[in-house]
A and B are shown apart, each in its own frame.
Chain A
Amino acid sequence: MKIDDDYLDAFEDDIVRLSRRTYAEAGVPMYLVPEDLTGATPPPEPDAEGAALAELFEAVTRALEARNGPLSSRDIAHVLEVLADRHFLDHPFSELSQ
């Protein structure tokens, strides 16, 4: 997936906008990766939506690293927050607090 400059600019604007939320009182959508460490079953495969999300996450993080250098875990959290805000619902989740 190709991420162009316009997409990346808008993505970084969303990072800034969402970072200004009052985290102590805001609902913050987030994706968590499930891990079954019991060894009982092999890890499940992502469904089509999960696979598309994973591809988008990889593409965005690659593009952000190319633009800004290595990402910290905080940067990665911000990427996931933007993706979750945009994709949990049919509209940005953060619109509901406006």
Chain B
Amino acid sequence: MSKIMRSTIFDVPSSLRITFGGPMVFLSRTAHNVRAPRIKYPLWYLQRERAKDDQQLTGDNRAFVKEAVHDKFGMPAVIHGISTYDVRSPLSEDSVECTNVEWNPKLQRTGLIARKLGNYPMWLNNGKSVLTTLLQVIDNHVIKYIPPDEFNPPRKPYSCPNHKKQLGCLLVGAESADPQYFTKQYCGLFYREGMMPKKYLGRFMVSPEAALQPGTPLLASHFRPGDFIDVRGKTIDRGFQGVMKRHGFHGMPATHGVTKSHRRGGNVGHGGEKGRIFPGTKMPGHMGNRYRLHKGAEILRINHKYNVIWIKGIASPGETNSIVYLYDTILPLRKHKSPPPFPTSKVLDNDQLIDSYKEDVYKFTEQTITYEEDK
């Protein structure tokens, strides 16, 4: 199976779990040379969407169901600029488990689920303009932690058979939603933790030391300005495309006797013994709609009020308003130099701190940039 499957399927209850005898390895964040994307079902072993059937409820009954939902989980509220529910999970009271473990570079922290908001320019203190991408961390909560021994995903990567079980799996959900619209099994995932069902789920491989209590909120302050992150998302689906758009070929001339081949790729093979098309030859085909990883994006600014992260560059995959996953970068030279919030940041009580910037980023509240005369 493709690696995409691997990285999107999360753990299932043991009753539903399909077990293979093979050894377990941790997920790879990106997939190369996979087959063209196709509809994969079931994407989640627990079916999420319920069939839309009219339950023929009266208006009163509908209101009662709504009230029951609000009674159980909490009233609708706008928190950090997102319309969600004021969840009263008993577990979120003493959220971060006090693990007195010091951070060291070998420990792997959890990631975040974010929405891509779009791009706009920012300026550096030297007057240079940089384009930034805005990512909003949308109402993230830890749903479940599966220790390394118990973690047994239905589909395993086969690239690394001798891998030792070292990392646990942290299930993170984003965007609370009304449980009426999901199946019973799907809601059951959250029920035990007293959480509302989440619209989006993500599976993050973490060191056992970085495990978090279910119900812990994850905020944008999990990262700091100046950190480097990897952004994983699904690229824009462009459909079946020719080589000029898909691989950036130059095509052929418009004139000089060329007919009907202006946008074609030209020769794809050799003659003689090599008289075949080699595997991996760049040819027309489906473009986009694949998971891709933008590695080593620098964080320039964080807004704590709306949980928005500004990263440098506009290369992160996906359209505006699509879901992306954020990780600490895997690039060796851009890893954390100083200890980050570990296992995650605490919820700040004071609302004083709204924006934090990297040192060399121009703040719009500052004076106009001027250069000093050199002598």
Are A and B interaction partners?
no
